[in-house]
Chain A
Amino acid sequence: MLHIVVCVKQVPDSREIRIDPKTNTLIRQGVPAIANFYDMHGLEEALRIKEQHGARVTVVCMGPPPAEKSLKQCISLGADEAVLVTDRGFAGADTLATSYVLGLTIAKVGETFGPVDIVFCGKQTLDGDTGQVGPGIACRLDLEQLTYVHKVEEIDVEHRRITVQRLLEDGVEVVQTSMPVLITALKELNKVRRAPLPGMLRAATYKPVIWTTADFPGLERAKIGLKGSPTIVAKTWVPEQKQVSTEMIEAQTTTGTATALVEKLWQTELPSRLGWLAEEEV
């Protein structure tokens, strides 16, 4: 039976974060914590593979204890087991330190629950927006790597092959590779299900497996948390908004306003810069 690991991060819903206009600082209060939604598309795909081919689905998450909420959500949707890797020592990790810990975690999941065939990550997280942890984990575990996947075309369990479509800027690439493989999920991959009642009941009493630094005998302290993070944030600021003098255009009629605007535009350098003055045919 296939063993699929899904990496999930609990993040502040950054869409809800506002900037205090007076102090130019972030207003974090009242911002809800949610499971990174790209990760949930990874979970959904894992559950679909489970239904079609039979699989064990293990969810892993690195984060503070409240992240248990997102893991319970994954259990309610149909994940078999959930592991929360939590320790103050992990705090402040950048993508390099995060992929180190998640790499160790997935290796341990493999030892504990059976060898891992597929790892799903979201394309990126809502709070970090980097998309670097997936490739980082693949590198740590020496897995094949398929990023920006919007469709899983075929899983050949017998030959341990997987064929996917990757959505790139200039088109769609169909790639086949061997398992074990790490896949990063786009939101186009699938539609995430609603939790069924039995799942919700199981989640209500479910306690995730908790691992701390003590559970990783080979862990190198210098590679985790803030200390293990090569990148540091030197400063953050609210981008200065370019102020321009705005000319409001208003005429008696709509047509008048439209004509006035177009006349204004034609008086700028725009038509010559766009080659409209020399045009022969549109």
Chain B
Amino acid sequence: MAEEKAKQTQASDMPDWSAYRGVMIVVEQRAGVAKNVSWQLLGEGRKLADKLETDLIAMVLGQDIYHLAEEAIAFGADRVYYCDAPELRDYRTRPYSRVCLQTIEEVKPEIVLFGATATGRDLAGAIATHLPTGLTADCTILDVEPDPSRLLLASRPAFSEKMLATILCKQYRPQMATARSGVFEARVPDPQRQGKIIAVPSQMAEDEIAAQVLRFIEATETFNLEEAEIIVAGGRGLGGPEPFKLLQELADALGGVVGASRAAVDAGWIGHEHQVGQTGCTVRPKLYFAVGISGAVQHTVGMQSSDLIVAINRDANAPIFKFANYGIVGDLFQIIPAITDSVRQKRAAVRLGQQETAQETAATVEGRN
């Protein structure tokens, strides 16, 4: 990132980019299933394309992936370029980047977006260097300036997420960015939506490709923080790995998962896949418990979009309370098990109530007969 301060975005000092039109999303998939971030980016890309009055374009690569081209249309794309070839079954940098480069050179989109996943970053880094053009990593806010500048305003966390920076790319096209999963919203798919699906050829034969994917070991723990509806997160205040068990019990009672602040992860109390904010992930669950988390900016940027936030902390002055809908000042070792019990009772009561209602209904029906 070059640190050039507050340059006004003037269209006059930019080359003529009228040959470049359209917003392209490169869809990531494994075994014919698209990653959620791809559909989220199509949702956000649709807004950008509408603002620029241009097409939303999807690029799909893989083997047996025609259905994903159709899905991309349902999720908002106007046009889909797809490359279906056996050598694209597994992601490999060279064959994937060659097809993308060829398509980008022919289609000339003004913006190309990828998910900020391991694969998306790997691919985008190769493509941007080849083209060459500017690439902004890990964006959390995307916007465009309308005609005449048509600039992508790509904003991303900087300085360990303590600040946000807006990055521009004025002198090159396309403008490229990777964007974080879980930040943008996918549209409700519309199977009636119409669009063009265009096949593009693969660019490398198998014997030209050095890399071989020998096997893929799927993560045993199907743990997905970004998509969790309820997260019970713990921080430095837990004081060690043990109290995470209490959080897990509450999470189980609620049907949620356990999250953690960077402090807890860095201390080795819990795995990094649980980290919220600060190069961890951004989450927006329906319910978020922040337990023993003081509420540093780098954590709160990752969770403040949650629908409902409950903060539990010993320190009544902890900044986390400013973000919370409900706050409890107290000892987590006492309060968490008590909440767990209360949740269990409440949910049991709901189920019991339903059974009674069902029995009553049954009795009424019987009575009629």
Contact = CB atoms under 8 A, between A and B. Distances in A.
Contact of B1 (A233, A235, A248): A233
A163 interface: yes
B17 interface: no
Contacts of A144: 93-94, 210-211
A132 interface: yes
Interface in B328-365: 328-330, 334-335, 338-339, 341-343, 346-347, 350-351, 354
Contacts of B217: 171-174
Most chain B CB within 10 A, of A17, A172, A173, A226, is at: A173
Interface stretch (B48-56, B63-71, B123-131, B236-244): B123-131
A148 B286 contact: no
B287 A270 contact: yes
Interface in A233-282: 233-239, 241-250, 254-255, 257-259, 261-262, 264-266, 268, 270-271, 273-274, 276-277, 279-282
A141 B138 CA distance: 25
Contact of A242 (B30, B323, B350): B323
Interface in A87-137: 92-97, 99, 126-136
Given A94-B2, A280-B351, A176 B214 contact: yes
Contacts of A26: 159, 162-163
Interface in B27-50: 30
A19 B319 CA distance: 15
B326 A170 contact: no
Nearest to A277: B350
A234 B136 CA distance: 12
Contacts of B135: 95-96, 130, 132, 231
Interface residues of B, number: 95
Interface string B271-294: 000000001000000110000000
A19 B163 contact: yes
A268 B286 CA distance: 11
B327 interface: yes
A173 B216 contact: yes
Interface stretch (B105-113, B196-204, B296-304): B296-304
A219 interface: no
Interface residues of A, number: 89
Contact of A276 (B159, B341, B350): B350
A280 B325 CA distance: 29
A230 B172 contact: yes
Interface in B1-43: 1-7, 9, 30
Contacts of B157: 129
Contacts of B323: 241-244
A239 B301 contact: yes
Given A96-B128, A238-B162, A281-B351, A270 B300 contact: no
A50 interface: no
Given A241-B300, A246-B327, A147 B212 contact: no
A257 B216 CA distance: 48
Contacts of A167: 118
A26 to B, nearest CB: 6
A130 B180 CA distance: 12
A92 B347 CA distance: 57
What is the predominant secondary structure among interface residues of chain B facing chain A?
Answer: mixed
Contacts of B130: 139
Given A246-B321, A276-B350, A147 B122 contact: yes
A230 B133 contact: yes
Contacts of B246: none
B79 interface: no
B339 A262 contact: yes
Contact of B168 (A95, A131, A232, A249): A232
A170 B342 contact: no
A179 to B, nearest CB: 9
Contacts of A258: 335, 338-339, 341-342
A148 B3 CA distance: 27
A249 B2 contact: no
A14 B165 CA distance: 15
B121 interface: yes
A213 interface: no
Nearest to B304: A242
A236 B126 CA distance: 27
B218 interface: yes
B30 A170 contact: yes
Nearest to B214: A174
A230 B213 contact: no
A94 B211 contact: no
Contacts of B214: 163, 174-176
A238 B165 CA distance: 9
Contact of A254 (B6, B307, B334): B334
30 contacts: A19-B163, A26-B163, A94-B1, A96-B129, A128-B137, A129-B279, A133-B125, A138-B93, A144-B93, A145-B93, A166-B118, A173-B213, A175-B212, A176-B211, A177-B211, A226-B4, A230-B132, A230-B134, A234-B167, A235-B165, A236-B165, A237-B164, A238-B163, A239-B301, A241-B323, A242-B304, A246-B325, A261-B328, A273-B286, A280-B354
Interface of A: 14-15, 17-19, 26, 92-97, 99, 126-136, 138-140, 144-148, 163, 166-178, 226, 229-239, 241-250, 254-255, 257-259, 261-262, 264-266, 268, 270-271, 273-274, 276-277, 279-282
Given A129-B138, A166-B118, A229-B134, 16 more contacts: A15-B160, A129-B137, A130-B137, A132-B121, A135-B93, A135-B122, A145-B126, A147-B122, A173-B215, A226-B4, A231-B134, A234-B166, A239-B163, A242-B323, A244-B324, A262-B339
- Across the A-B interface, the 5 shortest Cβ-Cβ residue pairs: A135-B125, A230-B134, A258-B338, A130-B137, A231-B134
